[in-house]
């Protein structure tokens, strides 16, 4: 007979010494008690999920809380057993995800170890539910697999339940758990129950041990597999995507073999592309074949192919599919709907790939879509932005056909919901192009001063439209700082610039710093000194303004270096953004011999400390800080501090980080002159990153950015390995 391990009752846990997402965990016992009453269980589950397991995060309060919850559930004392069981399955899934990370934080490692240990107790506590029916009984069976404990009494209990007929959800969960634990299920499957056989097959595949025969069974019994899958593992809402996550090779094999793939299958193929370097080619070939079918849905295939590495075949398919699209559509994020057009999505993908065909589908979308003014375009696997904003980010070049189509879109009636009007972003795009290319846009942009005054005024200022000064002055009567600044840029009148400083400058400071005409203006300089202050600012954009203002002040009077150094040093020491600009300014002052000798020595020591000691925020280490500091030290002709292992860690983390990758690659290029022990250590780690199947993290389209990173990294790595 199995035994239930003892766990500390809620009252014996010193919750005040533990933490969750919002502080000390002294409120956890009340939430746990709330699980027992029908009128409080929903709120209690919400609080426990949001605080103790916040966004899939483990805290030191999480393991004891989950054990207490499991005790209530196993004793059948919860008012919502199904949702409570779901919370425990979510916890187990979170533990597995943490165990896949390369943790170097001792505190987090200890929490993960405690969480793993608690799963054994949780599995034992919920075992009585296996005799019941319903989702909580199936969850109790699945939690036995999470404990990773093979106990004869437990396997006998699972096998006995799996033998009940007619077999259903709980029996399938029991078979899946037995299979995952490596137990013999032949006796249970002897009567040939198809659902149980499929449960065992899915479990083998999920454990990474699925043979080709298993994959063929999935293909042949796909409809049954879709039905059974949610019962054999937590969170299988979409079988193709789950299959891609657990075994990308199996997913590529199965999904490519399905004769009539649906949208879920296509999405699964995309997941293979995003998650696996080695299996992406097979998945892309299947997607291209599907795209070539006469009855394929072009919108669906564009959504898939735009996330694939932009090979010539993929680009050709995107261009051809875009020609088949004639109308736009709508999509939703939560309760908010927005306008889309697959032609615009294809155009952005082609633009990012450097394919000159990008402007044609975009122009057609803008000319023929009645909602073109408010289009949102796909910028990543799950993200969208206003069309104009995306094109500005990609530095889209001008084209006469495109300008004409943008103007037509701008003449449309605005969307019913003002927040969905993309006119300002389209005007901002026009403002990035030369005045001679956008001459035809002037009348339309002037008219838009009443609708989108900030962007319209900014565009007219960028083009030097002196004929529009009166219109902009009228628009400036509303007192908006951005419009006032645009007017000042056009008139160059000191009085107009001073009126800018009288306005509310929140979020407009950086533009004022960039465009102020007279950098010797005493009032402007006083304002700059106010921006710098004496303490490091809290927000990123405020710290950016501090750095810019310090640069302006020191360029005019080197005496500001001594007074500004403590603030600049504080920004650098924190390691947060804008770390690159801050270190760049400090190096500039040092090169110009503006820093006092003791400050220059302090800077060198600070840079060395940034390399060897992580700076952190609530998300973990600030990866950019160490790599920027390392590059700065090399620029100064100084050796890199720390062990080869530490330098390797700084480089590898930066290369693998979506926001610091370019800096990591730049640092790697500089290491060809490093000591041989450093070169070998870095090269070994980077070779592992290049040869692994998992793609690099990304700020946009995962596979596209990963391929670009590899194309740049491989020659650098080759040089590092052979120099």
pLDDT score, position 8: 64
DSSP annotation of 254 reads H
Kindly give the parts of the chain with pLDDT less than 50: 1-5
pLDDT score, position 638: 96
pLDDT score, position 101: 87
Those residues whose C-beta lies under 8 Å from the C-beta of residue 324, and which sit 6 or more positions away, are 298
Which uninterrupted H or E stretch holds 713? helix 702-722
pLDDT score, position 5: 47
Give long-range contacts, CB 8 A cutoff, 24+ apart: 363-367.
363/399, 363/401, 363/402, 363/404, 363/405, 364/322, 364/405, 365/325, 365/328, 365/341, 365/405, 366/402, 366/405, 366/406, 366/408, 366/409, 367/405, 367/408
Distance CA 511, CA 492 (A): 15
Q: Model-level pTM?
A: 0.89
Omega before 235 within 30 of 0, i.e. cis: no
8 A C-beta contact, residue 199 and residue 207 = no
Those residues whose C-beta lies under 8 Å from the C-beta of residue 606, and which sit 6 or more positions away, are 569, 572, 573, 629
Say how many C-beta atoms besides its own lie within 10 A of residue 313's C-beta.
14
8 A C-beta contact, residue 398 and residue 439 = no
Q: Which backbone phi and psi does 337 adopt, to 5 degrees?
A: -100, 145
Q: Which residues pair with 20 in a beta bridge?
A: 23
Which uninterrupted H or E stretch holds 338? strand 336-340
């Amino acid at each position: 007979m199995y035994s239930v391990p003892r766990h500390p009752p809620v009252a014996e846990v010193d919750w005040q010494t533990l933490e969750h997402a919002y502080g000390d965990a002294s409120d956890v016992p009340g939430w746990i008690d709330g699980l027992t009453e029908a009128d409080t269980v929903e709120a209690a589950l919400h609080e426990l999920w949001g605080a103790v397991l916040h966004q899939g995060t483990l805290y030191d309060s999480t393991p004891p809380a989950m054990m207490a919850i499991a005790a209530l559930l196993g004793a059948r004392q919860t008012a919502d057993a199904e949702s409570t069981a779901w919370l425990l399955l979510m916890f187990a899934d979170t533990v597995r995800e943490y165990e896949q990370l390369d943790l170097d934080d001792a505190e987090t490692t200890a929490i993960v170890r405690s969480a793993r240990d608690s799963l054994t107790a949780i599995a034992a506590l919920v075992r009585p539910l296996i005799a019941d029916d319903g989702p909580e009984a199936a969850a109790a069976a699945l939690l036995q697999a999470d404990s990773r404990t093979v106990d004869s009494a437990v396997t006998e209990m699972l096998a006995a339940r799996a033998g009940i007929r007619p077999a259903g959800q709980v029996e399938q969960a029991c078979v899946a758990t037995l299979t995952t634990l490596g137990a013999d299920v032949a006796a249970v499957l002897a009567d040939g129950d198809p659902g149980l056989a499929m449960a065992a097959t899915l479990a083998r595949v999920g454990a990474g041990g699925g043979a080709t025969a298993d994959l063929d069974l999935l293909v042949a019994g796909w409809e049954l597999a879709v039905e059974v899958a949610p019962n054999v593992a937590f969170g299988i809402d979409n079988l193709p995507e789950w299959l891609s996550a657990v075994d990308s090779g199996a997913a590529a094999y199965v999904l490519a073999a399905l004769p009539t793939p649906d949208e879920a299958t296509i999405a699964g193929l995309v997941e293979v592309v995003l998650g696996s370097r080695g299996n992406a080619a097979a998945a892309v070939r299947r997607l291209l074949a599907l795209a070539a079918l006469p009855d394929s849905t072009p919108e669906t295939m564009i959504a898939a192919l735009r996330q694939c590495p932009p090979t010539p075949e993929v680009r050709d398919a995107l261009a051809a599919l875009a020609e088949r699209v004639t109308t736009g559509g709508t999509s939703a994020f939560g309760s908010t709907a927005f306008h889309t057009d697959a032609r615009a999505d294809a155009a952005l993908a082609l633009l990012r790939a450097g394919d000159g065909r990008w402007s044609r589908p975009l122009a057609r979308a803008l000319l023929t879509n009645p909602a073109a003014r408010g289009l949102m375009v796909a910028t990543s696997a799950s993200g969208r932005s206003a069309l104009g904003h995306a094109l500005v980010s990609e530095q889209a070049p001008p084209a006469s056909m495109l300008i004409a189509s943008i103007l037509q879109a701008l003449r449309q009636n605005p969307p019913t919901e003002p927040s969905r009007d993309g006119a300002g972003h389209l005007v901002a795009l026009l403002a990035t192009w030369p005045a001679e290319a956008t001459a035809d846009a002037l009348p339309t942009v002037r008219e838009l001063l009443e609708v989108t005054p900030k962007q319209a005024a900014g565009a007219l200022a960028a083009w030097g439209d002196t004929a529009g000064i009166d219109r902009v002055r009228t628009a400036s009567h509303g007192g908006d700082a951005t419009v006032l600044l645009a007017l000042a840029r056009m008139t160059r009148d000191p009085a107009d610039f001073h009126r800018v400083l009288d306005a509310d400058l929140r979020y407009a400071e950086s533009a004022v710093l960039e465009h102020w005409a007279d950098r010797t203006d005493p009032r402007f300089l006083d304002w700059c000194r106010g921006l710098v202050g004496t303490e490091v600012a809290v927000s990123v954009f405020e710290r950016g303004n501090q750095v810019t203002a310090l640069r302006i002040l020191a360029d005019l009077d080197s005496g500001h270096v001594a007074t500004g150094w403590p603030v600049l040093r504080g920004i650098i020491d924190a390691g947060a953004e804008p770390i690159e600009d801050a270190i760049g300014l400090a190096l500039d002052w040092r090169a110009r011999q503006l820093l006092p000798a003791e400050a220059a020595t302090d800077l060198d020591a600070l840079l060395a400390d940034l390399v060897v000691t992580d700076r952190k925020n609530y998300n973990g280490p600030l990866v950019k800080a160490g790599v920027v500091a390392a590059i700065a030290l090399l620029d100064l002709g100084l050796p890199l501090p720390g062990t080869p292992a530490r330098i390797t860690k700084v480089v590898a983390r930066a290369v693998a980080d979506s926001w610091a990758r370019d800096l990591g690659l730049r640092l790697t290029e500089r290491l060809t002159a490093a000591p041989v022990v450093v070169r070998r250590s870095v090269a070994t780690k980077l070779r592992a990153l290049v040869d692994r199947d998992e793609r690099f993290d990304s700020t946009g389209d995962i596979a596209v950015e990963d391929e670009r990173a590899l194309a740049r990294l491989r020659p650098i790595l080759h040089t590092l390995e052979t120099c």
